[in-house]
Amino acid sequence: MNAESRNKDYSKANRIKIHQPDANKADSFKPSNHIYVRAVDGLWSSVRRRMGWITMLFFLLLPWIPWGERQAVWFNLGEQKFHVFGLTIWPQDLTLLAAVFMIAAFALFFVTTYLGRVWCGYTCPQTVWTFIFIWFEEKIEGARNKRIKLDQMPWNFDKLWRKTAKHTAWLLISLLTAMTFVSYFVPSREVYLDVFTLQASGGIYFWVSLFTFATYGNAGWMREIMCIHMCPYARFQAAMFDKNTYIVGYDPKRGETRGPRSRKVDHKALGLGDCIDCDLCVQVCPTGIDIRNGLQYECINCGACIDACDNTMERMGYPKGLISYTTENKLEDVKEKVLRPKLVGYGVVLTAMILLFIYASATIAPIRMDIIRDRNQLYRENNQGLIENTYTIKILNKTEALHEYALSVEGLSNYEWYGAKTVTVKAGEVLTLPISVAVDPADLTRTVTNIDIKVATTIDGEVVEVKQESRFFAP
């Protein structure tokens, strides 16, 4: 079999297969086998580090941004209010929260269909925290080969202090992560002050401890196990991929047949491809796969193998791009298609969801009113001979200030109102108000009359009113 046909068969066979480890190598996917990730510098590693810094700082600093008398982002579960800067989401508005999750889901589908698993490689918290932990591991225990030797050597003082320092650093990062996460639900100043002064509640200590050890375990010990065996996204990504999706791919037409050689020899004359079989692409991979085996669900598209291979190609004097962000069609010399039905569909739905969310957020009413009719009696005739209906009105003040509300009825003429017509409701409170409406029978032309009960107030100089439909029953 010539090299061209062998490369063609190789590409076809490996287009969708999963990784099959070499029988002579240890199975890197067993939880008992530790992956020693080699450090690498390059374009995509630099992009990933900067994205990691951005997402990490965003996560750490967001709870500390003030907004009036509270923090800007605060999920107040006790009062059932979600504060996101100037927007307050109540339980009655949780459809907005559902919309946020739907937008996030379709954004993930859209980006994955077009660019592959870039979320996993650049912004997933598991990836960000794992690389942070690996950075501390390298600084304390040394480069990859030194870490392997350190784990193989017997315990001595040098090994003891390095391991202690590493795990201490991991635990401190995990503690900071846990306290920051809890700060989204409990005011951040209270969390840090109460925890360190031993004044926090048992619930806060429980959640801080739980998330500390979860972060320590996930980013320190489990790492690629989370991505390969536990994360569902790795499993259903194939439903979003097509042959035009950007993946990290190895070009077998250039690379095969692989093998070591001197930089001074003509490798083409020896029948060798550009791949020198240095295995650096495997050593820098955080999930321990060999990208040369084709498309694999374990690949998180972090681009570390691209940087390692480009550095090798530069040292050898070969063109870069043996491993690159590419598509299956490009690898097979088939014309690529950017616009395809699945990508357009995801984009249309995502755009529609974003527009609907913006409209719904901008039109949230600062007043919520519910009307409950008296279920025990449709109507009664009072002492004045009027037909009277009883209602219970619940008014929710969804603003951050006290307001006065005026109540009225539309749809009835010459009615009598029994109960308060003007009430004051504090910020975030629900007022329950029983009222009765009475009408002279001579003014009623039907047994059931549709009415609107209206609540109006003035907010920032603008009159805001809410109407709720109900029924007035008569003999």
* 401 compared with 43, residue with greater pLDDT: 43
Q: What angle do CA 44, 50, 53 make, to 5 degrees?
A: 145
Tens of pLDDT, residue by residue over 139-168, are 999 999 999 999 999 999 999 999 999 999
Cα separation of the two ends of the chain: 96
Query: Does 288 lie in the same domain as 213?
Result: no
Query: Does 385 lie in the same domain as 460?
Result: yes
Task: Yes or no: say if 102 and 139 are a contact pair by the CB < 8 Å rule.
Answer: no
Question: What integer pLDDT is reported at residue 97 of this predicted model?
Answer: 81
Let me know if residue 30 belongs to a domain: no
Task: Yes or no: say if 204 and 191 are a contact pair by the CB < 8 Å rule.
Answer: yes
Query: Does 249 lie in the same domain as 210?
Result: no
Question: What integer pLDDT is reported at residue 281 of this predicted model?
Answer: 95
Stated as kind and residue range, the H or E segment containing 221 is none
d(CA 452, CA 455): 10
Query: Does 256 lie in the same domain as 197?
Result: no
Q: Range with the lowest mean pLDDT among 75-84, 103-112, 300-309, 388-397?
A: 75-84
Question: What integer pLDDT is reported at residue 93 of this predicted model?
Answer: 77
Tell me the CATH number at 394. Answer: 2.60.40.10
Question: What integer pLDDT is reported at residue 11 of this predicted model?
Answer: 39
Stated as kind and residue range, the H or E segment containing 390 is strand 387-397
* 31 compared with 54, residue with greater pLDDT: 54
For residue 472, list its beta bridge partners: 449
Query: Cβ neighbours of residue 118 under 8 Å, at least 6 residues apart?
Result: 111, 112, 301
Query: Does 401 lie in the same domain as 255?
Result: no
Question: What integer pLDDT is reported at residue 8 of this predicted model?
Answer: 44
> Letter for the amino acid at 273?
G
Q: Tokens 């039109």 belong to which residue? A: 363
d(CA 188, CA 194): 10
Q: Percent of the chain, pLDDT > 90?
A: 59
Stated as kind and residue range, the H or E segment containing 404 is strand 403-410
d(CA 272, CA 291): 19
Query: Does 263 lie in the same domain as 302?
Result: yes
Name the H helices within 249-407: 252-255, 280-283, 304-316, 328-331, 341-362
- Hey, how many other C-beta atoms are within 10 angstroms of the C-beta on 435? 18
- Indicate the residue among 231, 254, 275 that finishes a domain: 231
Query: Does 318 lie in the same domain as 411?
Result: no
Let me know if residue 184 belongs to a domain: yes
d(CA 234, CA 228): 7
Task: Yes or no: say if 296 and 116 are a contact pair by the CB < 8 Å rule.
Answer: no
Question: What integer pLDDT is reported at residue 429 of this predicted model?
Answer: 85
Q: How many domains does the chain have?
A: 3
Let me know if residue 358 belongs to a domain: no
Give 144-151's long-range contacts (Cβ < 8 A, gap of 24+): 144/36, 144/37, 144/38, 144/39, 144/283, 147/36, 148/36, 151/34
Query: Does 378 lie in the same domain as 418?
Result: yes
- Indicate the residue among 198, 231, 264 that finishes a domain: 231
d(CA 116, CA 108): 10
**Total-model pTM:** 0.79
Let me know if residue 392 belongs to a domain: yes
Flag whether pLDDT at 361 surpasses 90.
no
Place 10 in a pLDDT band, splitting at 50, 70 and 90. Answer: very low
Task: Yes or no: say if 468 and 392 are a contact pair by the CB < 8 Å rule.
Answer: no
Flag whether pLDDT at 26 surpasses 80.
no
Place 230 in a pLDDT band, splitting at 50, 70 and 90. Answer: confident
Let me know if residue 104 belongs to a domain: no
Instruction: Check whether the bond before 447 is cis (ω within 30° of 0).
Output: no
Let me know if residue 111 belongs to a domain: no
Question: What integer pLDDT is reported at residue 319 of this predicted model?
Answer: 95
Let me know if residue 112 belongs to a domain: no
Task: Yes or no: say if 238 and 231 are a contact pair by the CB < 8 Å rule.
Answer: no
User: Domain containing 381: what range?
Assistant: 367-473
Two structure tokens written together for 72: 């800007």
d(CA 449, CA 74): 44
> Letter for the amino acid at 292?
R
Question: What integer pLDDT is reported at residue 28 of this predicted model?
Answer: 45
Question: What integer pLDDT is reported at residue 22 of this predicted model?
Answer: 43
Two structure tokens written together for 88: 């307050």
Question: What integer pLDDT is reported at residue 121 of this predicted model?
Answer: 92
Task: Yes or no: say if 353 and 106 are a contact pair by the CB < 8 Å rule.
Answer: yes
Q: Angle, to 10 degrees, between the axis of helix 202-215 and the axis of helix 188-196?
A: 90
Flag whether pLDDT at 353 surpasses 90.
yes
Mean per-residue pLDDT, 432-453: 90
Two structure tokens written together for 198: 């031993």
Query: Does 270 lie in the same domain as 127?
Result: no
Tell me the average pLDDT of the chain: 87
Query: Does 319 lie in the same domain as 393?
Result: no
Question: What integer pLDDT is reported at residue 43 of this predicted model?
Answer: 95
Question: What integer pLDDT is reported at residue 29 of this predicted model?
Answer: 45
For residue 410, list its beta bridge partners: 452
- Hey, how many other C-beta atoms are within 10 angstroms of the C-beta on 6? 13
Question: What integer pLDDT is reported at residue 78 of this predicted model?
Answer: 83
Question: What integer pLDDT is reported at residue 274 of this predicted model?
Answer: 95
Query: Does 438 lie in the same domain as 317?
Result: no
Mean per-residue pLDDT, 1-24: 40
Q: What is the DSSP string of 410-466?
A: ES-SSEEEES-SEEEE-TT-EEEEEEEEEE-GGG--SSEEEEEEEEEEEETTEEEEE
For residue 89, list its beta bridge partners: 82
Tens of pLDDT, residue by residue over 265-294, are 999 999 999 999 999 999 999 999 999 998
Let me know if residue 298 belongs to a domain: yes
- Indicate the residue among 169, 199, 231 that finishes a domain: 231
Q: 3-state DSSP call for residue 222? A: helix
Query: Does 58 lie in the same domain as 164?
Result: yes
Stated as kind and residue range, the H or E segment containing 59 is helix 43-61
For residue 448, list its beta bridge partners: 473
Question: What integer pLDDT is reported at residue 23 of this predicted model?
Answer: 36
Question: What integer pLDDT is reported at residue 309 of this predicted model?
Answer: 96
Question: What integer pLDDT is reported at residue 115 of this predicted model?
Answer: 92
